């Protein structure tokens, strides 16, 4: 049924970004205000070089982030620690006692940007996962295998079957977020799992499929990992995100790389979506005729899953067409944001 009047304003509780890369150093002056302009909290990924592996490093990184939060903003970074083969049970216990730290991030070594220090033997970390489960510390997972013989488009599904199902069988209480899901297989896995398993979904995986990466020329700014999949998978992600399922929620995976590192013979993986993040999701929910589902996806389900309070402040979107800028100037050179030069139908009301 089409509604009689088309709403031009949409007010939702202040959203949170449950998967974000802010990087470090001078770039924080760009990335922190971009996210703090709209989001109340964000889960900050630890894949710096060197990675954030200790509580002390995470708290220092958090202070560098807080130093860039604009006056008047109450933006709160939720820090993660980078799981390595050397992570100890003591570090899990220390992180569990530190409220500024929300969980540990598992990168299979070699799977993505800055993952060289990641995990090479998941089973060998079983004591660490047991400690996480018993202390209620969430495990956030980049779910892709890295074996050379596995096709890049199959790497998420194979990771789920080869590692995630066994991991949850060994630790059924482990709180686990499968990050930036890209396949129908991941949707089904999370849907069938228990209340302790959830997933984040990025704007690019809702709005695009691999045609948007490869048809008519290679589009480096649509290249991220896990790579965009075929349309059937995109449609499953769209279905579940618009369905109001409480264990699928917003995580932009905004991942800035300098233009020169994207537009090159071996371009970096990652889409810098922060400058347009919430309008991008609004675009998707409107395409699905499900704008009424945006609030829970963006501002409710993630907080519920992590056991944090929902926001009491709000953000208003207004229907007003605008173009995502072609580039954003930063201290490390220009960046091309995701959806650059393309229109969006909703913008943040100032």
167 appears as a binding residue in the annotation: no
Q: Using DSSP bridges, classify how beta strands 101-106 and 139-141 pair: parallel, antiparallel or unpaired.
A: parallel
Structure tokens given for 117: 């220090």
Cα separation of 137 and 253, whole Å? 21
- Classify 321 as helix, strand or coil: strand
For position 276 contacting ligand NCD by CB under 6 A, the verdict is: no
Q: Which is nearer to ligand NCD, 75 or 107 (CB)?
A: 107
Identify the DSSP state of 194: -
- Classify 146 as helix, strand or coil: coil
Give the one entry of ligand NCD, Zn ion, none that residue 14 binds, where binding means its C-beta sits below a cut-off of 5 to 8 angstroms depending on kind: none
Task: State which of positions 100-159 bind ligand NCD (CB under 6 A).
Answer: 112-114, 142
Task: State which of positions 84-143 bind Zn ion (CB under 5 A).
Answer: 112, 142
Cα separation of 301 and 321, whole Å? 28
21 appears as a binding residue in the annotation: yes
Q: Pick from 78, 186, 255, 274: which binds ligand NCD (CB under 6 A)?
A: 255
Q: Which is nearer to Zn ion, 159 or 346 (CB)?
A: 159
Give the one entry of ligand NCD, Zn ion, none that residue 209 binds, where binding means its C-beta sits below a cut-off of 5 to 8 angstroms depending on kind: none
> Could you tell me which residues come within 8 angstroms of residue 81 by beta carbon, excluding any fewer than 6 positions away?
46, 52, 53, 54, 55, 58, 87, 91, 95, 101, 103, 104, 105
Lay out the sheet containing 314-323: strands in order across: 9-13, 314-323, 343-348
Return the biggest CA–CA distance within the chain. 60
The least CB distance from residue 89 to ligand NCD, in Å, is 26
- Classify 245 as helix, strand or coil: coil
Active site residue 253: yes
Q: Which is nearer to ligand NCD, 236 or 253 (CB)?
A: 253
Under 8 Å between Cβ of 257 and 315: no
Q: Pick from 46, 103, 220, 270: which binds ligand NCD (CB under 6 A)?
A: 270
- Classify 18 as helix, strand or coil: strand
What is the phi/psi pair of residue 221, to 5°?
-80, -5
236 to 265: interface string for Zn ion, x by CB under 5 A: -----------------x------------
Which residue(s) pair with 314 in the sheet?
Answer: 13
Q: Pick from 10, 17, 21, 206: which binds ligand NCD (CB under 6 A)?
A: 21
Q: Which is nearer to ligand NCD, 91 or 252 (CB)?
A: 252
- Classify 200 as helix, strand or coil: strand
Number of residues that bind ligand NCD (CB under 6 A): 12
Q: Compute and round to an integer the Cα radius of gyration of the chain.
A: 19
Which residue among the candidates 16, 17, 185, 253 is catalytic per the annotation?
Answer: 253
Give the one entry of Zn ion, ligand NCD, none that residue 270 binds, where binding means its C-beta sits below a cut-off of 5 to 8 angstroms depending on kind: ligand NCD
For position 228 contacting ligand NCD by CB under 6 A, the verdict is: no
Binding-site sequence positions for Zn(2+)? 19, 21, 105, 142, 180, 253
Per CB under 6 A, residues contacting ligand NCD are 21, 47, 112-114, 142, 224-225, 253, 255, 269-270
Per CB under 5 A, residues contacting Zn ion are 112, 142, 253
Binding-site sequence positions for substrate? 21-23, 47, 142, 225, 257, 269
Binding-site sequence positions? 19, 21-23, 47, 105, 142, 180, 225, 253, 257, 269
């Amino acid at each position: 049924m089409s509604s009689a009047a088309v709403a031009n304003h949409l007010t939702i509780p202040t959203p949170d970004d449950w998967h974000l890369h802010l990087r470090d150093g001078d770039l924080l002056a760009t990335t922190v205000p971009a996210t703090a302009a709209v989001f109340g909290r964000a889960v900050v990924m630890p894949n710096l070089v060197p990675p954030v592996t200790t509580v002390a490093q995470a708290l220092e990184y958090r202070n560098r982030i807080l130093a860039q939060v604009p006056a008047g903003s109450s933006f709160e970074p939720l820090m993660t620690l980078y799981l390595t083969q050397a992570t100890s049970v003591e570090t899990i216990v220390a992180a569990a006692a530190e409220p500024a730290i929300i969980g540990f991030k598992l990168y299979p070594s070699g799977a993505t940007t800055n993952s060289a220090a990641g995990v090479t033997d998941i089973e060998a970390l079983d004591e660490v996962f047991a400690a996480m489960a018993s202390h209620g510390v969430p495990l956030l997972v980049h779910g892709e295998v890295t074996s050379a013989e596995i096709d890049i488009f199959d790497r998420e599904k194979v990771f789920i079957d080869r590692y995630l199902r066994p991991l949850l069988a060994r630790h059924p209480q482990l709180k686990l977020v499968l990050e930036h899901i890209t396949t129908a297989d991941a949707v089904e896995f999370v849907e069938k799992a228990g209340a302790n398993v959830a997933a984040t979904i990025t704007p690019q995986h809702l709005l695009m499929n691999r045609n948007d990466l490869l048809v008519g020329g290679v589009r480096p700014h649509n290249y991220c990992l896990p790579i965009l999949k075929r349309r059937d998978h995109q449609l499953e992600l769209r279905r579940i995100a618009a369905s109001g399922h409480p264990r699928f929620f917003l995580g932009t995976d905004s991942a800035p790389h300098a233009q020169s590192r994207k537009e090159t013979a071996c371009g970096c993986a990652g889409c810098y979506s922060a400058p347009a993040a919430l309008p991008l999701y609004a675009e998707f929910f409107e395409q699905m005729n499900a704008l009424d589902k945006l609030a829970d996806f963006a501002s409710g389900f993630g907080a519920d899953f992590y056991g944090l309070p929902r926001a009491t402040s709000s953000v208003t979107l207004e229907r007003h067409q605008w173009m995502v800028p072609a580039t954003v100037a930063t201290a490390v050179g220009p960046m091309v944001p995701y959806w650059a030069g393309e229109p969006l139908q909703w913008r943040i009301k100032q």
